[in-house]
Amino acid sequence: MKALFAHGPIRISITRRLVAALTGLVILFWLIAVGLGAFVMNQEFAEIFDGTLQETAERLMPLILDDLAQRDSGDSQTLQEIVQGTNKEYLTYQVLDANGKIILHSQQAPATPYDVPLKVGFHNTPKYRIYTVSSMDGKLFLHMADAFRNRREASREGAVALLWPLLALIPASAVLVQLIVRRALRPLDHLRDEIATKDSGNMAAIDADPLPRELLPIGRSVNLLLGRLRAALEAEREFTANSAHELRTPIAGALAQTQRLIAELPVGPLHERASRIETSLSNLARLAEKLLQLARAEAGIGTSDKPADLAAVIDAVIAEYDNNSKAADRILPEYETNGTFERNIDMDAFAIVMRNLIENALLHGAANEPVAIRIEDGEVIRVINGGTPVAADELAGLKRRFRRGRTDERGSGLGLAIADRIIAQIGGRLELVSPAIGRSGGFEARIVLPR
């Protein structure tokens, strides 16, 4: 139960709700129609049975009178003998005299008189519907009886015949309702899919032309909001770019002046103080660069509308480090692809990710071991360096801002946070592993970018 609520409430789609509601409504209406049909059919059956009962009694009375007359004249074949041996009688009768004594009755009629008065017309007992008819002289009475169970059986079979189509109607209705609802909600699905693709890398207006009249206000509002977000992001990115330029220039100028001052000063306390200023300015320059990268990452620079070859971006970043004498020949690319690794990622943003990961590996990895960069399965990029393994309790916090591991090397604690933020924007994830997979030591940063 706790696991169920931990993931939030279960959300049922509008399509499923409509299909269930409309199918249930169709079934309800069909049941109501069956009930009304059964009621009307029962009334009609009652009229038909009553008419048949009355007509049979009226036609049978002359035959009985004739039978009694023949019996008095000595005719050996009587009406009772003629009907003797019939398997089942739907209608039974009794012939009584004016005193209520049974003179003649059908084979399956009871031997005692029906509990009804000797009066022409319809009468009811708990088991029978009886129509009574009398002779012209009023000396003989005929009770023609129809059992209620016969009427109930006919009504029940008629109702069952009406219910049988419901077995085919339920699945057929569900399928047809689902098709109709899905067709009717197709514009809503289109709008949902269009909105779902919008992020910081895709702020293009949605196509509102196919939308029906009810959804047009939503489409216009979404496009208006996207326009405002697009303008805000462009302004933020422009501000970040301008800030980067404006910050780099004075820091670089101050650092150059300090380095020139160091060159001109003789060895002594002033020279040492100027060297400390140079170190502080260098740290400030790196921190400013990282903060600007973080600001760009927060502005959402990761995604792009066009695919980029990430393997080519990695090669370009490696070439930059090869020009640095301290990092020359320490970075070894090992690709297990056909040479291309394409994703819809901004090339500058991915270059920032790789610079931070490679810089982290060079700075904190063993100086006598190379940094391996591997592309595997077309989905994983691994940056591996040697050195002492990082404790498991430290790995979880390394992606937080300004969080550094146990190291004496210089750093801002922002590189992994920047890389993680940009990778998350493009739908990937950054995994930190130590020791590196397949090794007894070292550190590994894994970029997982599903296709």
CATH assignment of the domain containing 439 = 3.30.565.10
How confident is the model over 147-158, as a mean pLDDT? 83
Q: Quick check: is 245 in a domain?
A: yes
Distance CA 138, CA 132 (A): 12
Q: What is the token pair recorded at 379?
A: 């989905």
Residues 350 and 410 in one domain: yes
Return the higher-pLDDT residue of 76 and 381. 381
Q: Quick check: is 9 in a domain?
A: no
What tens digit of pLDDT does each residue of 418-441 get? 888 888 877 788 888 888 887 888
Its pTM surpasses 0.75? no
Q: Which residues fall within 8 angstroms of residue 18, CB to CB, at 6 or more apart?
A: 177, 181, 185
Q: Which amino acid is at 295?
A: A
pLDDT band at residue 2, thresholds of 50, 70 and 90?
very low
Task: Report percent pLDDT > 90 for the chain.
Answer: 0
Q: Which range among 50-59, 243-252, 372-381, 427-436 shows the weakest confidence by mean pLDDT? A: 243-252
Q: Quick check: is 192 in a domain?
A: no
Pairing of strands 331-335, 140-147: unpaired
- What is the total count of domains within the chain? 3
pLDDT, residue 1, reads 38
Distance CA 364, CA 442 (A): 10
Residue 130, strand partner residues: 123, 145
- SS3 per residue for 304-360: EEEEEEHHHHHHHHHHHHHCCCCCCCCEEEEECCCCCCEEEECHHHHHHHHHHHHHH
Distance CA 176, CA 168 (A): 12
Domain boundary residue, one of 241, 269, 301: 301
Q: Are 356 and 348 in contact (CB under 8 A)?
A: no
Q: Are 45 and 154 in contact (CB under 8 A)?
A: yes
How confident is the model over 19-41, as a mean pLDDT? 84
Domain boundary residue, one of 268, 283, 301: 301
Q: Quick check: is 274 in a domain?
A: yes
Return the higher-pLDDT residue of 100 and 377. 100
What's the gap between Cα 223 and its chain centre?
26
Q: Quick check: is 173 in a domain?
A: no
What's the gap between Cα 33 and its chain centre?
34
Most confident of 170-174, 305-309, 351-355: 351-355
Residues 153 and 53 in one domain: yes
Distance CA 168, CA 146 (A): 36
Distances (CA, A) of 183 to 176, 180, 190, 382: 11, 5, 11, 46
Task: Report percent pLDDT > 70 for the chain.
Answer: 83
What tens digit of pLDDT does each residue of 303-319 get? 776 777 888 888 888 88
Residues 136 and 207 in one domain: no
Residues 404 and 416 in one domain: yes
Q: Would the pLDDT of 332 be above 70?
A: yes
Scan for tokens 């502005």, then name that residue: 299
pLDDT band at residue 408, thresholds of 50, 70 and 90?
low
Return the higher-pLDDT residue of 407 and 238. 238
Residues 26 and 157 in one domain: yes
Kind plus residue range of the DSSP H or E element containing 75: none
Residues 343 and 429 in one domain: yes
Mean pLDDT, the chain, whole residue set: 78
Domain boundary residue, one of 273, 301, 329: 301
Residues 215 and 267 in one domain: yes
pLDDT, residue 401, reads 67
Q: Which domain holds residue 258?
A: 198-301
Q: Would the pLDDT of 128 be above 80?
A: yes
Q: Would the pLDDT of 243 be above 80?
A: no
Residues 349 and 383 in one domain: yes
What tens digit of pLDDT does each residue of 42-88 get? 888 888 888 888 888 888 888 888 877 776 654 444 445 544 444 56
Q: Quick check: is 182 in a domain?
A: no
pLDDT band at residue 186, thresholds of 50, 70 and 90?
confident
Distance CA 433, CA 397 (A): 12
